[in-house]
């Protein structure tokens, strides 16, 4: 895969190294040439100095052949403009933008841009840790409409059946791990303390399942 990253801060550097480690070809763009020092000497991809929404800079980066594009600078507006150009002008198949303002998330997604909100994700994660929640998210699907979540069954939930946690179109238990053995549970399986549940949850139903498990 040929990937382009805009922004050579901490997230951009980590993402570049992760993609390169997996064998992908990576080009990273930043307006400051000094930012590329963050990559260290082990980075083998390309670096280009310029603005991530500049079409000439993007062409130099090979965007016309790119399979994926991520805008992860420290500015929401810059990320949105760069992602929009990648998607609308160059038709990059996969476009992701990092955002800080969660209120913009739905707007971007309606425009077909996948988003990662470190602010919203971090706040929810911290809240669950503060409340000692047994539930945490592991992955977002699509444009964030569905969450893949993992939950440890506490003593308060033990004794209930899988079907008690299932809501049609909103919550599904697709796997259960008990004493290290994974299986697909039938609706009448009785939960035991220490079981690990893997769930698919509609994003707007997360609070509901938190109330049952968390």
Whichever domain contains 209, its CATH number is: 3.30.70.1450
173 and 208 inside one domain: yes
Same domain flag for 114 and 142: no
Mean pLDDT by 10 residues, the chain (214 residues): 94 91 95 95 95 97 96 92 94 89 77 74 57 65 79 88 90 93 94 92 82 71
Spell out the alpha helix ranges (H) of the chain. Answer: 10-21, 55-60, 76-84, 105-110, 118-130, 206-213
Q: What is the pLDDT of residue 206?
A: 82
Verify that 101 and 207 share a domain, yes or no: no
| Domain that includes residue 184, residue range | 127-213
Q: Out of 84, 119, 154, pick the residue that ends a domain.
A: 119
What single DSSP character describes residue 154?
-
Nearest in space to 125 (alpha carbons), one of 188, 206, 22, 55: 206
Looking at the structure, tell me whether residues 98 and 149 fall in a common domain: no
Among 57, 90, 119, give the residue marking a domain's end: 119
Determine the pLDDT at residue 84.
Answer: 94
What is the pLDDT, as a whole number, of residue 120? 61
Residues 110 and 148 in one domain: no
Give every CB contact of residue 149 below 8 A, 6+ residues apart in sequence. Answer: 135, 136, 137, 138, 198, 199, 200, 201, 206, 209
pLDDT score recorded for residue 59: 97
> What's the CA gap between 90 and 57, in Å, rounded?
13
Considering the domain architecture, whether residues 98 and 197 belong to the same structural domain is answered as no
Picking from 73, 66, 69, 68, the residue whose alpha carbon sits closest to that of residue 50 is 73
Q: Which residues of 151-181 are buried (b: 16+ CB within 10 A; e: fewer)?
A: bbbbeebeeeebeebeeeebbbbeebeeeee
Q: How many domains does the chain have?
A: 2
Give the Cα separation of 26 and 32 in Å (integer): 18
């Amino acid at each position: 895969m040929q990937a382009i990253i805009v922004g050579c801060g901490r997230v951009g550097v980590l993402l570049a190294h992760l993609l390169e480690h997996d064998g992908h070809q990576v080009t990273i763009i930043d307006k400051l040439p000094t930012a590329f020092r963050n990559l260290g000497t082990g980075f083998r991809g390309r670096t280009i100095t310029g603005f991530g929404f500049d079409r000439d800079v993007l062409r130099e980066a090979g965007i016309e052949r790119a399979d994926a594009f991520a805008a992860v600078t420290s500015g929401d507006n810059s990320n949105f403009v760069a992602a929009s150009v990648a998607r609308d002008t160059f038709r990059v198949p996969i476009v992701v933008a990092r955002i800080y303002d969660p209120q913009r998330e739905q707007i971007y997604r309606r425009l077909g841009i996948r988003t990662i909100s470190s602010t919203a994700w971090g706040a929810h994660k911290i809240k669950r840790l503060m409340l000692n929640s047994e539930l945490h998210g592991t992955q977002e699907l699509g444009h964030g409409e569905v969450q893949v979540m993992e939950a440890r069954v506490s003593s308060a939930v033990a004794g209930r059946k899988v079907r008690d946690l299932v809501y049609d179109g909103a919550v599904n238990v697709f796997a259960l791990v008990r004493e290290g053995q994974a299986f697909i549970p039938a609706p009448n399986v009785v939960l035991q303390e220490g079981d690990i549940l893997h769930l698919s949850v509609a994003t707007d139903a997360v609070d509901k399942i938190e109330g049952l498990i968390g």
